[in-house]
């Protein structure tokens, strides 16, 4: 299959192993999956403090790297056709203390953590005082979503989105991290659509994130490529 000018690849349903599952969860069994885990970020926090990275863009970068590594997290419906984006970028929330509201920004991802830290800082500096829901002029379809609730920890978190039938982008929510038994734990919730994802795919995502957090010192060189 050839890449289109809109930067996605159509899915050949006749040859896709999930064809029947997709049809079931797009029809009478429409459903999403919500899961919350605790991520051990002890090593990650120590490393980012040493190198001067910011925590929020760092965890967004790690999630984006994993999302871009697996087709099931890059799916969308375009013109009534299931497609896979060639790449996907993070759309994240920033909070406005003066109005107690938030805005949604996206930043470009190219696989380089230094580039992303810079892109994040530039976007927040440019648009951080704009109280609009979408303050950035440009808009993208190929995004997934990250939000944060840094004021409270949680053991479960659920987002209910109406008309989810064709909404396949993952939605991540970060809670307040805390110390327990000598570790720093981050509550992380994700919602995905059952049409394109199963529990297996979520487990792999969470396991890969934990591995990255544990091995961030070695991986930091790889992220620079």
Q: Which residues, 6+ apart, have CB-to-CB distance to 175 below 8 Å?
A: 148, 149, 150, 152, 153, 154, 157, 186, 187, 188, 189
Q: Which residues, 6+ apart, have CB-to-CB distance to 132 below 8 Å?
A: 103
Neighbours of 73 (CB within 10 A): 25
Nearest in space to 224 (alpha carbons), one of 115, 118, 120: 115
Point out the catalytic residue in the list 47, 89, 193, 194. Answer: 194
194 is a catalytic site residue: yes
H helix runs in 27-167, sequence order: 42-51, 55-69, 113-127
Q: DSSP readout, 49-65?
A: HHHT--HHHHHHHHHHH
Return the active site residues: 194
């Amino acid at each position: 299959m050839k890449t289109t000018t809109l930067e996605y690849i159509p899915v050949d349903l006749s040859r896709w192993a999930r064809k029947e599952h997709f049809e079931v969860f797009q029809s009478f069994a429409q459903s999403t999956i919500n899961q919350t885990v605790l991520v051990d970020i002890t090593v990650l926090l120590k490393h980012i403090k040493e190198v001067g990275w910011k925590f929020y863009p760092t965890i967004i970068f790690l999630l984006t790297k994993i999302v871009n590594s697996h087709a099931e997290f890059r799916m969308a419906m375009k013109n009534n056709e299931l497609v896979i984006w060639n790449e996907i970028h993070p759309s994240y929330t920033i909070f406005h203390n003066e109005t107690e509201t938030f805005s949604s920004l996206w930043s470009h991802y190219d696989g380089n953590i230094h580039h992303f830290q810079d892109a994040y800082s530039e976007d927040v500096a440019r648009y951080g005082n704009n109280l609009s829901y979408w303050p950035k002029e440009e808009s993208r379809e190929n995004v997934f979503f990250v939000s944060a609730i840094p004021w409270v920890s949680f053991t479960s978190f659920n987002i209910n989105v109406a008309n989810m039938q064709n909404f396949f982008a993952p939605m991540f929510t970060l809670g307040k991290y805390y110390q327990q038994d000598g570790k720093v734990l981050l509550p992380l919730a994700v919602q995905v659509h059952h049409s394109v994802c199963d529990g297996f795919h979520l487990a792999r995502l969470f396991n890969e994130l934990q591995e990255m957090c544990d091995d961030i010192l070695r991986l930091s060189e790889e992220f620079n490529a």
